[in-house]
Chains A and B, each alone.
Chain A
Amino acid sequence: MVKLTDKPGSVFVIYIATTPEKLWAALTSAEFSRQYFFGRAITVEPKVGGRFQLLMADGTVDCQGSVLEYDKPRRFAVTWHVEWLPEYRDLPEGIVIFDLAPSAETVRLTVSEIHDPALPEKFKEGGRTGWPIILSGLKSLLETGRVPKIEMPNPAG
């Protein structure tokens, strides 16, 4: 079972010309996430132990977990379990951590994925492919008000 103190298997960094407060809102609200997170609505109960879900447009749960840390607007961490793909449902949960650090006129956002040691390598590809798309879209949204359409790669292949 994964712990917050485990070493992340993947780390993604991006700098966005915005404020921590605006970035936090974009990361934790459905109104924003639908625009840059492949149409998914993020719902987060803003407290440790609260429920976290990513919902698809038709209400299907993409993934879910619980809040491990909620330190607005610096850091939030959730357990992460994929629900919508049959092949993923029996996998152990992981942890995703979002760190927001002010850096000059920008915010440095670091997304860290902690994988269960038993997780087969191929299931890490989804994150490696997806997070750069998500974070690039988030940056474009906050800096230009527009998000381009990039197709979600099929995580199963």
Chain B
Amino acid sequence: MANSRFVYVTYIRTTPEKLWRALTEPEFTRQYWAETWQDCAWTKGASWKLMIPDGRVGDAGEVLEIDKPHRLVLSWRNEFMPELRAEGFSRATFELEPQGDMVKLTLTHEIDVDGSKLIEAVSSGWPMILASLKSLLETGESLEATRNWPKDM
């Protein structure tokens, strides 16, 4: 188990297919993930980039495992904050398990660095992003605070 680890579990009334699309397609991510989109061919070994709306690369890595619509594992290095970039590559795992008319989404984000500032940063971001994703899929509207990239970032 990695030295720094964040785990978040949420249940969303949707299907694994819809949730998978919402996690990966720009028309969805822009609404709940602060206007970002992912540049990726979505095959094992493909490079992966989380793009900030102004064109900067936010985070980058590659697809380590992909089993649509059940499991996605990415290597993930922050690119635009030097202190976080210096920590190197983390690992983000998304697991989608149908349970009745819900999907259980488990997000694990971890890195082999003690006291990781990257994991600390994503630990405060993920609950908001995933809550907004749940609201988008269940109500048709994401949470307002997540619809735009923060002006000062």
Residues of A whose CB lies within 8 Å of any CB of B are 13-17, 103-106, 108, 132-133, 135-137, 139-140, 143-144, 146, 148-151
B33 vs chain A, min Cβ distance (A) = 14
A-B contact pairs, 11 of them (CB 8 A): A15-B131, A105-B145, A106-B143, A135-B10, A139-B134, A140-B134, A143-B135, A144-B138, A148-B13, A150-B102, A151-B100
Can you name the residue of chain A whose Cβ is closest to the Cβ of B106? A132
Q: Is the CB of B139 within 8 A of A104?
A: no
Residue pair A143, B138 in contact (C-beta under 8 Å): yes
Q: Which partner residue on chain B sits nearest A106 by CB separation?
A: B143
Verify if B128 is at the interface (C-beta below 8 Å from A).
yes
- B13, B101, B128, B131: residue with the most chain A Cβ atoms closer than 10 Å: B131
Confirm or deny: B15 has a beta carbon within 8 angstroms of a beta carbon on chain A.
no
> Scoring B residues 1 to 20 as 1 if CB is less than 8 Å from chain A, else 0, what string do you get?
00000000111110000000
Do residues B135 and A17 form an inter-chain contact, with CB atoms below 8 A?
yes
CB contact list, B79-133 vs A, under 8 A: 99-102, 127-128, 131-132
B144 at the interface (CB under 8 A from A): yes
Q: How far is the CA of A133 from the CA of B128 in the complex (A)?
A: 17
Q: Measured between C-beta atoms, what is the minimum distance from B144 to chain A in Å?
A: 5
Residues of B near A137 (CB, < 8 A) are 11
Separation of A144 and B13 alpha carbons in the complex (Å): 11
Decide: A148 near B127, CB < 8 A? Known: A103-B145, A104-B145, A136-B12: no
User: Which of B99, B100, B134, B144 is within 8 Å of A104, CB to CB?
Assistant: B144
Does B127 contact A14, Cβ atoms closer than 8 Å?
A: yes
Are B102 and A148 in contact, CB atoms less than 8 angstroms apart?
yes
The docked-state distance in angstroms from the alpha carbon of A148 to that of B113 is: 39
B95 to chain A minimum Cβ distance, whole angstroms, is 13
Closest to B127 in A: A13
CA distance A106 to B134 in the complex (A): 13
Beta-carbon contact of B145 and A150 below 8 Å: no
The reply to whether A15 and B128 contact each other, CB–CB distance below 8 Å, is yes
- Given A13-B127, A15-B131, A148–B145 Cβ distance below 8 Å? no
Residues on B with C-beta less than 8 A from A135 are 10
Q: Taking CB as reference atom, which chain A residue is nearest B99? A: A150
Residue pair A14, B131 in contact (C-beta under 8 Å)? yes
CB–CB B127/A140 < 8 A:
no
Nearest CB in chain B: distance from A155 CB, A:
16
Contact B139 A148, beta carbon cutoff 8 Å: no
Selected from B9, B101, B128, the residue in CB contact (under 8 A) with A148 is B101
Say whether, besides A105-B143, A140-B138, A14 and B10 are in contact (CB < 8 Å). yes
Q: Which residues of A contact B99 (CB under 8 A)?
A: 150-151
Contacting residues, chain A, for B100 (C-beta < 8 A): 148-151
Give 19 A-B pairs besides A105-B145, A144-B13 with Cβ atoms closer than 8 angstroms.
A14-B127, A14-B131, A15-B127, A15-B128, A15-B143, A16-B131, A17-B139, A104-B144, A106-B131, A106-B143, A106-B145, A108-B127, A135-B10, A136-B10, A137-B11, A143-B139, A148-B102, A149-B100, A150-B102
